[in-house]
């Protein structure tokens, strides 16, 4: 059994993931061993072998090739002329210099964009409802060459430290390059004319990437909507619980206030009783009518202050303000999730 066969068997028995630990030369050889296994041609076409350093050792994984990588792409037909240009293409045609391309490259570039839009119809480039998943692409036709600094540039750069001499010179070219940026990466993000392969032959890959990125962005958008919905549900539950706790805290405060009022009334009643006893012990006529009036007023006052003189009932809970609920919300805001 070869080393690669042994490694693949070990991965299959371990569920597709193993970690080689230890130290010394044996551990350090694993990156080159994994690279050799990839080159051996024994890794199944539907699998990919990965290796990388992780905490605890060198991790090796055998994973399924993404389904989109196994799809046989149909060539994208590029129109020979723009008989019925798409709205996007028509808008570009009305610009003074579409895509900032040379005039000789503009027609071909617009036909490529027309083909890409039609192929990706119903996906991100043409669906205004999916603005969150918008793709940004650009076409250019510049050739880059090493810049040779002139004597004047060298003198200016020597005299002024902020002057930077450009590394490259860019000149118009008939070769086109398409760059797709943003979104989740799948295939390469750049396609260009080469001596062996024109951009037309690579357009199917670009169209697939637009579709894949659009689908990924749509899933992400729906996940964000669901996450926001779940967050609002948790916030509403927290608000409902905060209202329950607020109501209970309000009842407790009223209960404690009633107990304090009862104790206060009890002390006052004891004082009024002591005054009455003292007045009654005085000789007839000494206390006078003022004492009797005071005792009558004080007794009535104590009766009004004593909560035991009215039947007990749960208090009406006032509508809480945002700041009233804040102590019961933890990390949540009373104004929204």
Greater confidence, 124 or 112? 112
Kindly state the tokens that stand for 22.
């230890």
Reported as a single tens digit per residue, the pLDDT across 254-297 is: 999 999 999 999 999 999 999 999 998 898 878 788 999 999 99
Kindly state the tokens that stand for 42.
């024994």
Kindly state the tokens that stand for 57.
């050792």
pLDDT on residue 22: 82
Every domain of the chain and the residues it spans: 3-65, 87-224, 230-328
- Please return the burial class of 200, using the count of CB atoms within 10 Å of its CB with bins 0-12, 13-18 and 19+: middle
Task: Provide the whole-model pTM.
Answer: 0.60
pLDDT on residue 224: 97
**Which strands make up the sheet holding 136-146, listed edge to edge?**
136-146, 168-181, 190-192
The pLDDT of residue 178 is above 50:
yes
Please give the backbone phi and psi of residue 82, each rounded to the nearest 5 degrees, phi first: -95, 80
| Dist CA 297 CA 295 (whole Å) | 6
pLDDT on residue 184: 64
Reported as a single tens digit per residue, the pLDDT across 45-67 is: 889 999 999 888 999 999 998 88
Average pLDDT, the chain: 88
pLDDT on residue 13: 93
């Amino acid at each position: 059994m070869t080393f690669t066969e042994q490694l693949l068997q070990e991965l299959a028995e371990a569920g597709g993931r193993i970690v080689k630990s230890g130290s010394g030369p044996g551990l350090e050889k694993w990156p080159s061993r994994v690279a050799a296994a990839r080159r051996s041609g024994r890794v199944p076409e539907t699998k990919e072998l990965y290796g990388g350093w992780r905490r605890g050792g060198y991790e090796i994984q055998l994973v399924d090739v993404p389904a989109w990588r196994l799809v046989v792409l149909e060539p994208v037909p590029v129109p020979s002329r723009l008989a019925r240009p798409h709205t996007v293409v028509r808008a570009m045609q009305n610009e003074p210099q579409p895509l900032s391309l040379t005039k000789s490259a503009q027609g071909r570039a617009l036909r490529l964009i027309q083909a890409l839009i039609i192929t990706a119809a119903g996906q991100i480039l043409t669906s205004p409802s999916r603005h969150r998943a918008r793709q940004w692409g650009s076409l250019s036709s510049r050739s880059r060459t090493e810049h040779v600094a002139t004597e004047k540039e060298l003198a200016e750069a020597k005299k002024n430290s902020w002057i930077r001499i450009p590394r490259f010179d860019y000149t118009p070219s008939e070769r086109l390059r398409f760059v797709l940026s943003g979104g989740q990466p799948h295939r390469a993000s750049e396609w260009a004319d080469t001596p062996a392969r024109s951009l037309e032959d690579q357009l199917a890959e670009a169209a697939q990437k637009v579709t894949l990125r659009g689908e990924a962005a749509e899933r992400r958008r729906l996940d964000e909507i669901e996450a926001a919905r779940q967050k609002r549900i948790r916030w509403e539950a927290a608000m409902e619980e905060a209202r329950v706790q607020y109501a209970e805290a309000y009842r407790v405060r009223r209960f404690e206030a009633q107990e304090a009022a009862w104790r206060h009334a009890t002390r006052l009643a004891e004082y009024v009783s002591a005054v009455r006893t003292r007045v009654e012990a005085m000789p007839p006529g000494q206390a006078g009518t003022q004492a009797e009036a005071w005792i009558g007023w004080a007794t009535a006052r104590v009766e009004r202050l004593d909560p035991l003189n009215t039947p007990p009932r749960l208090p009406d809970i006032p509508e809480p303000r945002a700041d009233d609920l804040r102590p019961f919300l933890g990390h949540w805001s009373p104004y929204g999730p």
